[in-house]
């Protein structure tokens, strides 16, 4: 397929997303099933163009004067990929699978329209109803924070110290031009191609042998700040597929006991294979069993309980741009209920003197500081550990630069730390 055909396909996918309210992943899958002549490379390029359009949908629509799928696709090629109107006309001409060449209005938009005077939610490419929450978090910087969330995310890897160190991983992935991440002592970063694709690292021997795992640097930092110690009793309460579980186990050097739990057994399924590949031997996976409390025997026994709480995922919009436009206020309210419940249940497992670490991949104060404050009203025996103290305790004092304004937690964002958005609060039980 030609680049012009990729553009036409992206328009068709964006139309499916708009008209049928289909999730982007489903719309792309359905398009691929209906056009089996498209190879994997073609499908990847179409997906990249589609996701770029969704990342910057509001600002592209403002500049093009339309949010129609065609306007979004052409605007993406012009404003994200840097193709001129003449370049688009030349690319589209003579290709029967191409969109029509830009008309005069589209040419004028591409040539002259800017974001001058655009409201924050347009310049920052996020839904207008979230403006108040992001203003509470970032004030006048919210448009810049949103714009950073509208860029492509890098491909980050975590070195599994149970299998080797970062120098060994850098050597194994030298052909990918992997580099050390700036904040995580265990991280590697691999550059994306010009069309936003990363190399197939899951096929690399370093991955297959468990030396590296795919994990954003922000997620690595959240696990690092939890400070799982050798010989401790540690519970990953909302473990999901186990990204942070594996990081905690590596910190523990396979000593002590690590428990992984999630309310949805399906999310836990990949962890069995991942733990075996990583060489993690001190892990117990506590899958849910109906109404039975599978963690009852751990009441007040854990040195550390990590609550990677269900959230709106606003901090991961770089990787899942479709989510920000599909999100509704009711989802935020539901997540807050789930976060309160998770904190209350997890707190029962923490021994006196133990730690409860609350993590979200959200930037919204309602899900972060507000939830910690509400929890502390219910459980005054838990107090926040100052961020500077927590960072120093894990040998990373420079992370204190990413403390919240009150110094009681951490907030990482693409703009400030180059990572996905993460909130981390460490609470100690008296």
Query: Where is the binding site for S-adenosyl-L-methionine, in residues?
Result: 262, 308
Catalytic residue among 113, 238, 311, 361: 361
Q: Is 231 left (phi over 0), alpha (psi -120 to 50) or beta?
A: left
Contacts of 243 (CB under 8 A, 6+ apart): 213, 215, 219
| Catalytic site includes residue 113 | no
Annotation: binding site = 262, 308
Residue 309 near residue 237 (C-beta atoms within 8 A)? no
What is the C-alpha to C-alpha distance for residues 379 and 359, in angstroms, rounded to an integer? 18
DSSP strand pairing (233-236 vs 302-308): parallel
Residue 213 near residue 277 (C-beta atoms within 8 A)? no
Report, as residue numbers or ranges, the catalytic residues. Answer: 361
């Amino acid at each position: 397929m030609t680049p012009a055909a990729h553009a036409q396909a992206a328009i068709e996918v964006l139309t499916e997303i708009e008209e049928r309210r289909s999730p982007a992943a489903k719309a792309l899958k359905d398009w691929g099933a209906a056009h089996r002549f498209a190879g994997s490379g073609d499908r990847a390029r179409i997906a990249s163009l589609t996701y770029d359009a969704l990342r910057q949908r509001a600002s592209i629509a403002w500049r093009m004067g339309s949010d129609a799928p065609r306007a979004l696709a052409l605007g993406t090629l012009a404003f994200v990929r840097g193709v001129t109107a003449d370049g688009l006309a030349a690319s589209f001409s003579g290709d029967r699978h191409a969109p029509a060449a830009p008309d005069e209005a589209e040419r004028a938009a591409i040539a002259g329209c800017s974001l001058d005077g655009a409201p924050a939610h347009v310049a920052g490419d996020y839904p207008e109803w979230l403006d108040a929450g992001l203003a509470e978090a970032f004030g006048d910087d919210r448009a810049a924070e949103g714009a950073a969330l509208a860029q492509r995310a890098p491909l980050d890897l975590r070195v599994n110290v149970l299998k080797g160190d970062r120098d060994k991983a850098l050597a194994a992935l030298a052909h990918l031009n992997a580099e050390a991440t700036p904040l995580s002592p265990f991280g590697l970063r691999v550059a994306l191609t010009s069309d936003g694709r990363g190399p197939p690292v899951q096929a690399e021997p370093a991955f297959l042998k468990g030396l590296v795992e795919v994990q954003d640097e922000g997620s690595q930092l959240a696990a690092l700040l939890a400070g799982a110690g050798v010989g401790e009793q540690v519970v990953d309460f909302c473990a999901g597929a186990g990204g942070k579980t594996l990081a905690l186990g590596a910190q523990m050097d396979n000593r002590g006991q690590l428990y992984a739990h999630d309310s949805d057994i399906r999310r836990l399924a990949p962890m069995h294979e991942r733990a075996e590949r990583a060489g993690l031997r001190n892990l117990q996976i506590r899958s849910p069993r109906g109404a039975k409390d599978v963690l009852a025997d751990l009441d007040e026994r854990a040195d550390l309980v990590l609550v990677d709480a269900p959230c709106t995922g606003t901090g991961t919009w770089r990787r899942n741009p479709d989510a920000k436009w599909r999100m509704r206020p009711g989802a935020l309210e539901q997540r807050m209920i789930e976060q309160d419940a998770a904190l209350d249940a997890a707190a029962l497992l923490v021994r006196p003197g133990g730690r409860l670490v609350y993590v979200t991949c959200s930037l919204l104060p309602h899900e972060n500081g507000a939830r910690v404050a509400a929890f502390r009203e219910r459980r005054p025996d838990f107090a926040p550990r100052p961020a500077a103290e927590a960072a120093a305790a894990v040998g990373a004092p420079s992370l204190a630069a990413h403390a919240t304004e009150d110094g009681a937690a951490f907030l990482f964002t693409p703009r400030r730390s180059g990572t996905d958005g993460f909130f981390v609060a460490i609470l100690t039980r008296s």
